[in-house]
Structure 1
Amino acid sequence: MSFGKVPEGITTRAEYDTCLGKLRFQDGLPDEATVQKVYDDLDRSRAKHAFLDMIPMASMEAMRAGFAAIGCDACHKACLYGNLMDSRSLWLTGNTEAVYVGAMLDLQRDGPTVIEVPAGAGPGLVNDAYFRYVGDMGKPGPDKGAGGKYLVLPPGYDAEVPGGFYVFRTPSYTNWVILRGFLQDGSPEPAAKMWTSGLKIYPLSSSSSPPSMEFLDMSGKEMNTIHSNDFGFFKEVNAVIQREPAEFLDPELRGTLSAIGIRKGCPFQPDERMKALLEEGVALGNATARALCFAPRDKSAKFYGEGSEWQTPWVGGDYQWLVDQGVGGRNQDARTRFFYLATGNTPAMVLKMVGVGSQYVLAFRDEKHEYMDGGKCYSLTLPPNVPCKDFWSLVLYDAQHRSMLQTPQLVPGRNSVRHPDMKTNTDGSMTVWFAPEAPVGKESNWLQTTPGKTWFVCLRLYGPLEPWFNQTWRPSEIRQETDRKRKAPP
């Protein structure tokens, strides 16, 4: 009998040298050692990808748990930063100039929920349990800052929808409401009063007699909203999977979790082998997320192009991280990067809106492309006429937890309305200094750092103007001042 020749390219060799070591086959059949190696690698790889894919979900679960830990465990109980946030609160890249007010919705418990937003509200949004965009409120929302009533409907809601509301539909039971009010003449008091006198959140079923709002002012207090970077990450993810409808995630994402033992209606009880691989997967995932954040290989992360260290948090400029309007799929690395650094997802943050909204850029390295060292002195110069209708700000962050840098200064930021004592240079520019002690004569323009701690900085422009978008105005790179004399410590 005659047989055709088998092409070499479709056969399996007897042995391969790989990153897993030698893989051996007997006429295409893997030996026992190879089987064990590839299954360990498969489970480890799925754990790593689960970490990268589920950062948004774990981050929202940490936010929910953080709110519950301070007593914000019902929709009418709101977390308020009436005198602004400082570094005692751990929030991913929270800022020092917004009067935040936030609440968590539980639509499984409460059903359709009403949010009454007062007139004058700044940017506000609702995000679901995977940090996906549900809707905008306040200035970027349909009320355009005039105030209005919003109704958030739970998954699968098919009853009649009452009139008189801006209606949001969400795929999850847990939803985060966050609103921002801005400083007026440098004071947070008007915005805080706006929230306490005008914001109302309550179940639609209690409309005739809604519960009174309770505001827990967290200014100057400790709060943690940061997800885990160890095995606890998978516990956070499992808690969400058990709470939310199965359809909340698409089958591919659910499949990755199911493969590592996280499945709705089933206990998450990995054996010792699987737990060790999950822990290794988290370590690899965390390392990957940090590389994506602090050393991105995507050239489009560079806001001013190659050579500059100013970076955009919104790689691709799309709030869904879709490539070519979805033709190229989803940029998963860009999504991972954003949610490892930040919270809050809305198209309003990426759209070009001259004179309204806000724009952000981040710097993780100095002009020599080296990470910033908290024991050294650096400077940053903002050219004259910063192109913003409202104000600009600079805030320092800790590279470990991506929250405000914790120093005795407590508020690691400077902005153009809160700090009118900052000095300008003779040409109208302004230089800000970063060092453990203030350089002599630069105290009003100084932000404190800590020896032994790395840090990064975010520049925000509120009401950005055309020179920002066309880049005819741009900040300097961050420069290390090796010979700058510092003020002697007390």
Structure 2
Amino acid sequence: MAYMTTSAGVPDGYNTPIPSKILTPDRVQTRIGALEFTDGFPSDETAAKVFDNLDFLRAVEVFLQCVPAASMEGMRAGLTEIGLDAAHKMVIADRLLDSNPLFLTGNTDTVYALAMLDLDRDGPTVVEIPPGCGPGTVNDAWFRFVTDMGAPGPDRGAGGSYLIVPPGYTGEIPDGHFVSHSPSYANLLALRGFTVEGKTDAARAMFEDGVKIYPLSAAQDRPQMEFSSFSGKAFNTIHANDREFYEEMAQVIRREPIEMIDPETRGLLASIGIHKDHPFEPDERMRATLADAAAVGNATARSIVFHTRDKRAYFYEDRKWKTGFVGGDYQWLDGDGRDGRNLDARTMFFYQATLNTPAMALEMVGVGSQYALTERDASGAFLQGEKNYRLTLPPNVPAKDFWSVIAYDPQTRSELQTGQPLPSRSSENNHDELVYNDDGSIDLTFGPEPPSERQGNWIQTAPSKSWYAILRLYGPLNPWFDKTWRPDDIERV
């Protein structure tokens, strides 16, 4: 109804002046169409329209908020597929991580050793690592940090015994372990070893001879460790980007303890039908809504990653290189937490990466690693596989250990699949192939066909594919942190 206002500013039907800003007109035009009311009562059509929209909004929000959990579910399912169904089983990239298995921005530089812990099945679980073990990390089912191992962990590279305790455990915890309490049952253990003169033998032997994983309850009768290779195997560890994303989340919520996430997140999931205690059975209308929401959520995540609008993501004002840890905090808490969690920054990281540890975000000179990524050339155009490019790294790359550049596929956010099983160049693994310029700088080239010279500096691209690059510095030095050393942008040639 239309209100008539008297000269005293009192609308028809009222005794006192009513601010117009608190009244709802009979018809409002919005981005979801016209909304109609009768004296503030929504029409049946309007109520149906806004509830559809509310379900859609919440489903999009579930996608964006739950990428870390869906990503870990993809990791768990993929590793289970290749046999990681017991604590004493571990897979090693004994020929490095090539482009056959699908891993979010995995690297070709270090020797991965992976295990999946199931604390619901096994209870408290012991992980013994040998001295000199490369950096390792345990993350929970929401890809949250549980503990580091090796040099960045409490053993400080001396080796030791870690005990990962499940949620709700009230039993005895014996001495002699570095103890961590996980909020979830599923936990990913990722250890890394380094190559020696480009060979993986020492790292593989270190893992096979020194790593022991077993339930605390089996400490007196430990199962024999079983190691297998996952180099060259084709399998998927990446979450869905369609309606199946919500099925993956339903599996996580059913399996994990309810306290793993806060009531607000539980309520958000429940609002679209994902409950701990009830089956996930969306009706036809909801299935269509979820399909649309996954499409919009995926597009939003991809825009956050590849059309980044947060200027803090860029290392330099005049270049295209970006960080994965906007704000410099592994929990993405802005302003020391006063500004809350930067949700887009968290999405930016987890949509394309895994393994969360403070060591990746902290400025530790000569320790750990630092990353910079770009999907654009110097002109601002996306990198295209049919074109040729050059990246110049200035002299004295500030890496105590070594540096690498790896090409990735924007679709899978995994290593680019080409005729090169390892789509990368590394100062360690490719030491004998790389040719440096007279001033100590190095030109890396990218393109579908090998150049006529300096083929050891070439990373192959696929003519039908876009790509993006990540520069990694292992043992980063001061010139990286104070930005006196800067990589050039990738130039089209």
Return the TM-score normalized by structure 1. Answer: 0.97
Structure 2 counterparts to residues 128-207 of structure 1, below 5 A: 128-207=140-219
Match of 2:54 among 38, 42, 57: 42
Q: Is the 8 A contact 1:83 1:189 kept in 2?
A: no
What is residue 445 of structure 2 aligned with on the other side? 433
Q: Is the 8 A contact 2:112 2:190 kept in 1?
A: yes
Separation in 2 of the partners of 1:260 and 1:92?
Answer: 27
What is residue 485 of structure 1 aligned with on the other side? none
Separation in 2 of the partners of 1:216 and 1:30?
Answer: 62
Shift of 1:26: 1.2
**Is 1:9 aligned to residue 21 of structure 2?**
yes
Separation in 1 of the partners of 2:346 and 2:38?
Answer: 43
Q: Is the 8 A contact 1:395 1:404 kept in 2?
A: yes
Structure 2 counterparts to residues 221-240 of structure 1, below 5 A: 221-240=233-252
Shift of 1:2: 7.8
Separation in 1 of the partners of 2:309 and 2:41?
Answer: 39
Structure 2 counterparts to residues 326-405 of structure 1, below 5 A: 326-405=337-416
Q: Is the 8 A contact 2:480 2:486 kept in 1?
A: yes
Shift of 1:159: 2.0
Taking only the aligned residue pairs, the percentage that are identical comes to 54
Q: Is the 8 A contact 2:325 2:349 kept in 1?
A: yes
What is residue 10 of structure 2 aligned with on the other side? none
- SS of equivalent residue, structure 2 residue 16: coil
Shift of 1:219: 1.1
Shift of 1:452: 1.9
What is residue 78 of structure 2 aligned with on the other side? 66
**Is 1:312 aligned to residue 346 of structure 2?**
no
Report Cα offsets for 1:133-182 as digits up to 9, x if no partner: 00100110010111000000000112221000000001101111001001
Q: Which moved more, 1:173-182 or 1:29-38?
A: 29-38
Separation in 2 of the partners of 1:262 and 1:2?
Answer: 45
1:2–1:114 Cα change, 3 Å: closer
Report Cα offsets for 1:306-365 as digits up to 9, x if no partner: x31100011111111111121111111111110001000000001111111000000110
Letter matched to residue 56 of structure 1: P
- SS of equivalent residue, structure 1 residue 223: coil
Shift of 1:410: 1.3
Q: Which moved more, 1:17-26 or 1:391-400?
A: 17-26
Separation in 1 of the partners of 2:94 and 2:75?
Answer: 19
Shift of 1:24: 1.1
Letter matched to residue 305 of structure 2: C
What is residue 97 of structure 1 aligned with on the other side? 109
Q: Is the 8 A contact 1:81 1:219 kept in 2?
A: yes
Report Cα offsets for 1:350-382 as digits up to 9, x if no partner: 111111100000011000011001000000001
Separation in 2 of the partners of 1:396 and 1:476?
Answer: 16
Letter matched to residue 290 of structure 2: L
What is residue 453 of structure 1 aligned with on the other side? 465
What is residue 417 of structure 1 aligned with on the other side? 428
What is residue 4 of structure 2 aligned with on the other side? none
Match of 1:323 among 331, 334, 346: 334
**Is 1:79 aligned to residue 91 of structure 2?**
yes
**Is 1:114 aligned to residue 126 of structure 2?**
yes
CA RMSD of aligned residues (A): 1.0
Separation in 2 of the partners of 1:461 and 1:60?
Answer: 26
- SS of equivalent residue, structure 1 residue 392: strand
Shift of 1:122: 1.1
- SS of equivalent residue, structure 1 residue 310: coil
Q: Is the 8 A contact 1:14 1:28 kept in 2?
A: yes
Shift of 1:3: 1.3
- SS of equivalent residue, structure 1 residue 354: coil
Separation in 1 of the partners of 2:299 and 2:275?
Answer: 26
Shift of 1:117: 0.7
Separation in 2 of the partners of 1:403 and 1:73?
Answer: 24
Separation in 1 of the partners of 2:391 and 2:64?
Answer: 33
Q: Is the 8 A contact 2:58 2:268 kept in 1?
A: yes
Report Cα offsets for 1:56-93 as digits up to 9, x if no partner: 00000010001110011111111110111100010000
- SS of equivalent residue, structure 1 residue 9: helix
Shift of 1:223: 2.2
Q: Is the 8 A contact 2:319 2:488 kept in 1?
A: no
Separation in 1 of the partners of 2:487 and 2:319?
Answer: 10
Separation in 2 of the partners of 1:471 and 1:324?
Answer: 22
- SS of equivalent residue, structure 1 residue 341: coil
- SS of equivalent residue, structure 1 residue 353: coil
Separation in 1 of the partners of 2:209 and 2:403?
Answer: 28
Separation in 2 of the partners of 1:444 and 1:161?
Answer: 53
Separation in 2 of the partners of 1:333 and 1:286?
Answer: 13
**Is 1:295 aligned to residue 307 of structure 2?**
yes
Separation in 2 of the partners of 1:463 and 1:358?
Answer: 6
Separation in 2 of the partners of 1:13 and 1:243?
Answer: 47
Q: Is the 8 A contact 2:138 2:147 kept in 1?
A: yes
Return the TM-score normalized by structure 2. Answer: 0.96
Match of 2:455 among 440, 443, 456: 443
What is residue 484 of structure 1 aligned with on the other side? none
- SS of equivalent residue, structure 2 residue 164: strand
- SS of equivalent residue, structure 1 residue 100: strand
Mind listing any 5+ residue stretches in structure 2 that lack a counterpart? Answer: 1-12
Separation in 1 of the partners of 2:195 and 2:185?
Answer: 33
Separation in 2 of the partners of 1:424 and 1:2?
Answer: 83
What is residue 476 of structure 2 aligned with on the other side? 464
Shift of 1:132: 0.4
Separation in 1 of the partners of 2:14 and 2:123?
Answer: 72
What is residue 290 of structure 2 aligned with on the other side? 278
